[in-house]
Amino acid sequence: MKIIALEEHTFPRDILSAAGLDLGSRAGRKAAELDDLGEGRLKTMDAAGVDVQVLSALAHIVQQLEPASSVAVSQALNDRMAATVQAHPERFRAFATLPISAPEQAVAELRRAVDELGFVGTMIHGQTNGVFLDHPSMEPVLACAERLGVPIYLHPAPPPPAVQDAYYSGLPADLAAALSTAGWGWHAECGLHVLRMIVAGVFERHPALEVIVGHMGEGLPFSLARADDMLSPLLKGQTPVAETAQRNLYITTSAYTTVAPLQCALTVLGADRILFSVDHPFADSAQGTAFLLSAPLSPADREKIAHGNAERVLGL
C-alpha cells in the first residue's frame, strides 16, 4: 500500500544561518534532521514505508520577518524544496512557504511556486504578527489559493507575546514552552483559527477553498457539534459551522497515533476527510505508519487515508 505523508518539515541550515534566524530550543534539537533533504531522510522514509513526503519549511519564524526579508527567505526555501523534488520526483512534493507579512508578494510567490515549481499548496503557520487568515489583508492570498485549486495547510505556531504572558507565565520555562505549543496551546489556537475563518465568512466568500489542519484536527472533531450549536444561530443566513467544516476542511493524523482521536475524527468528518501525516522530524515515522497499518479501519478507508485522499486533494 502506498503511503503519502503530508506534514514533513525541513529548514536547511545554510538558509537559516544566512537569514540570521533561530529555530528555538525545541526545533533546534532537530536541526540536523530538518537540514537533511537527502539520503538520511530517504532512509527514514524507507525504513517506515513512507513512499512520498510533502515537504514544508518550518516557517513561522519567516512569516514574522519584515516583508523584504520574508520574501527573500521564502523564495530561498521554495527553491531548495523544488530542487529536492526535482532530484527525487517519485519521493517528494512540496508546500510553498509564503511571506505572509507582505500579502501581494505572498500571492506572487504562491503563483510562482504552483505554476513554475509544481508545488501542491502552501503551508501557513498560524497568525502573523497578530493577523489571522480571516483579516481583510489576507483576502488576496485566499483568493489566489482558491483560484489555483490548491489547499492551505494551516499549521500551529507559537502564541503571540500577549497570549504567552496571559496563559503561560509563572511556570518553569521548559514547561511553559511545551504547554504553549505541542503540549496543548497551539492545537487549541489552530482550531480557534479555523473557527474564526468559518464564522468570519471566509468560506462563504471562497466556497472552493480547502484548508488542511494536522494533529487529528486540532481538537475540532471533538468539539465541532458544540461549536455548531453555539455559533451557527448567530451567523444570520450563513452556512452552519459544522457543514462548512465538513465541506472545506481536511485533517491529517500527524503525531497522533492512538485510536480514540481517530475514531472521533472518522465519526465527525469521515474517512474521505482524513489524510496521513507523520510530522517528521518531531514524530517517529515508523510509529506513524505502524499505527496506520494497525488502526481499526476498513481496507477501503485505510487506502483513502494512506494515499487516496492525498492524491485527490493535492492532484498527485
pLDDT at residue 270, rounded to an integer:
98
Cell of residue 255, nine digits? 503525531
Q: pTM of the prediction?
A: 0.97
Element of type H or E holding 103: helix 103-111
Contact yes or no for 23/34 (Cβ under 8 A): yes
> Do residues 71 and 32 make contact, with C-beta atoms less than 8 angstroms apart?
no
Q: What is the pLDDT of residue 188?
A: 96
3-class SS at 184? coil
Q: How far apart are alpha carbons 292 and 255 in whole angstroms?
A: 12
Give the pLDDT of residue 47: 98
Q: Say which residues have a Cβ less than 8 Å from residue 14's Cβ, sequence separation at least 6.
A: none
Give the integer Cα–Cα distance in Å for 212 and 187: 13
Query: Which domains, and CATH codes, for the chain?
Result: 4-314 (3.20.20.140)
Rounded Cα gap, residues 158 and 11, in angstroms: 17
Q: Which phi and psi (to 5°) does residue 153 adopt? A: -90, 110
CA dihedral 44, 177, 222, 138 (to 10 degrees): -90
- Enter the DSSP assignment of 171: S
- First vs last C-alpha separation in the chain: 16
Cβ neighbourhood burial of 170 (10 Å; 0-12, 13-18, 19+): exposed
| pLDDT tens-digit profile, the chain (316 residues) | 999 999 999 999 999 999 888 888 787 788 899 999 999 999 999 999 999 999 999 999 999 999 999 999 999 999 999 999 999 999 999 999 999 999 999 999 999 999 999 999 999 999 998 899 999 999 999 999 999 999 999 999 988 899 999 999 999 999 999 999 999 999 999 999 999 999 999 999 999 999 999 999 999 999 999 999 999 999 989 999 999 999 999 999 999 999 999 999 999 999 999 999 999 999 999 999 999 999 999 999 999 999 999 999 999 9
- Residue 163's SS3 state is helix
Q: What pLDDT does 158 receive?
A: 87
